[in-house]
Amino acid sequence: MNPADWLPHRPPFLLLDSMVSIEPGLRASGLWHLTGDEWFFPGHFPGRPTTPGVLLLESIAQCGAVAVLADPKYTGRLPLFGGVEHARFRRQVVPGDTVLLECEMTRLSARGGKGHGRATVNGDVAAEADLLFILADIS
């Protein structure tokens, strides 16, 4: 399943390569394969390429946005960050890693919601957070 079928994001800011599962309005999971050719690695950090934590949070949010936008009730809407709570970074994500992204909606309404997401590599948690968002009209 191609995340671009639901998300307005496009490279280089589409941070999901494929969707593993989608339960519309409830949860989604997807994969992000880091090859080392990504635009941010040369500067973060030279000699020790590391995925920026904020991009891990964005990739989790994109996964959650697929869960929301796959629900027909939210067609034509755009989930936008409203906040991040309880973010924790537990391991570095480096070139060659495949990140499993998971996000579950803990609250969802016509105006916005909240989700809990996690990024793992080989079963080890790399990052997790509660993400708050609003739903804006695209037009």
pLDDT of residue 50: 98
DSSP 130: E
Q: Is 44 a catalytic residue?
A: yes
Q: What is the pLDDT of residues 21-63, one digit of tens each?
A: 999 999 999 999 999 999 999 999 999 999 999 999 999 999 9
Peptide bond into 45 cis (omega under 30): yes
Alpha carbon separation from 34 to 8, 53, 57, 74 (Å, rounded): 21, 14, 15, 30
Confidence band for 75, pLDDT divided at 50, 70 and 90: confident
The angle at the Cα of 23, spanning 22 to 24, to the nearest 5 degrees, equals 100
Place of tokens 């989608």: 22
Q: What is the pLDDT of residues 89-114, one digit of tens each?
A: 999 999 999 999 999 999 999 999 99
The CATH number of whichever domain residue 77 belongs to comes to 3.10.129.10
With pLDDT > 90 as the criterion, what percentage of the chain qualifies? Answer: 97
Per DSSP, helices labelled H in 5-90 are: 53-69
Residue 6 has pLDDT above 90, yes or no: yes
Residue 19 has pLDDT above 90, yes or no: yes
For residue 53, give the 3-state DSSP assignment: helix
Range of the domain at 42: 3-137
pLDDT of residue 64: 97
Closest among 34, 1, 29, 28 to 15, alpha carbons compared: 34
The shares of helix, strand and coil residues in the chain, as percent rounded to the nearest 5, are 20, 45, 35
Residue 139 has pLDDT above 80, yes or no: no
pLDDT of residue 76: 87
Of the residues 9, 33, 44, 86, only one is catalytic, namely: 44
Quick one: average pLDDT of 127-135? 98
Tally of domains within the chain: 1
Instruction: Give the count of alpha carbons within 13 A of 31, CB side only.
Output: 13
